[in-house]
Amino acid sequence: MVLCGIDEAGRGPLAGPLTIAGVILHTPIDGLNDSKKLTEKKREALFELIRENSTYHIARFSAAQIDELGLSACLAAGLREIMAAIGEADYLYDGNSKFGVSGLRTMVKADATIPEVSAASILAKVTRDREMVELALLYPQYGFEGHKGYGSAEHIEAIRQYGYCEIHRKSFKLKILQPSLF
């Protein structure tokens, strides 16, 4: 049975979507690795190669959906969506949790060792990063094009100054931004 690798990008940011990709490679692609270990330029080049040489599906959940459903429920829904779209395959998800979804295996650090999972990691990250660059045009005061919604010092300072915007995950509470009694 053909292997479909699955990985996500955007589990931990304070803003922006959660993006999950599933990939079946049709031909080997040189240079695949965990997307976080590759330069942006290398990820962008591999992104097009992966799309041209694979069957893939990308699931996306907005900050509002994450706030409403919860991160784990979104991850589970994304896994199910990918499995429904791809069809029969041997599914391997990066990490150690299945989020209650049956019919898949998990493996820690699969994104660094299994080409199909590396490819999914790259598709998820590049798709999400591109969306954050677009969203930065709508919300320039937050600097999303740089930190991509993660909790950098610059981003936290922008939240202090401007408050949350529409793409912030309001359910993600930062101690540093909570009012103090002292």
At residue 91, the pLDDT reads 98
Distance of CA 121 to the CA centre of its chain: 8
pLDDT digits (tens, 9 = 90+) for 33-81: 999 999 999 999 999 999 999 999 999 999 999 999 999 999 999 999 9
Q: Band of the pLDDT at 18, cuts 50, 70, 90?
A: very high
| Contact in structure between 138 and 145 (CB atoms under 8 Å) | no
Q: Band of the pLDDT at 172, cuts 50, 70, 90?
A: confident
pLDDT digits (tens, 9 = 90+) for 101-124: 999 999 999 999 999 999 999 999
Q: Return d(Cα 170, Cα 56) in angstroms, integer.
A: 31
CATH number for position 111: 3.30.420.10
- Cβ-Cβ contacts under 8 Å for 94 (sequence gap 6 or more): 5, 6, 7, 8, 106, 107, 108, 109, 110, 111, 117, 120, 121
Average pLDDT, the chain: 94
At residue 114, the pLDDT reads 97
137 within a domain of the structure (yes/no) = no
66 within a domain of the structure (yes/no) = yes
119 within a domain of the structure (yes/no) = yes
158 within a domain of the structure (yes/no) = no
pLDDT digits (tens, 9 = 90+) for 23-42: 999 999 999 999 999 999 99
Residue range(s) defining the domain that contains residue 81 = 3-128
Q: Distances from the Cα of 181 to the Cαs of 23, 24, 161, in angstroms?
A: 49, 53, 20
59 within a domain of the structure (yes/no) = yes
Using the predicted structure, report yes or no on whether residue 180 has a pLDDT greater than 60: no
Going edge to edge, which strands form the sheet with 18-25?
A: 54-61, 18-25, 3-9, 90-94, 104-107
Using the predicted structure, report yes or no on whether residue 179 has a pLDDT greater than 90: no
Please count the structural domains in the chain.
1
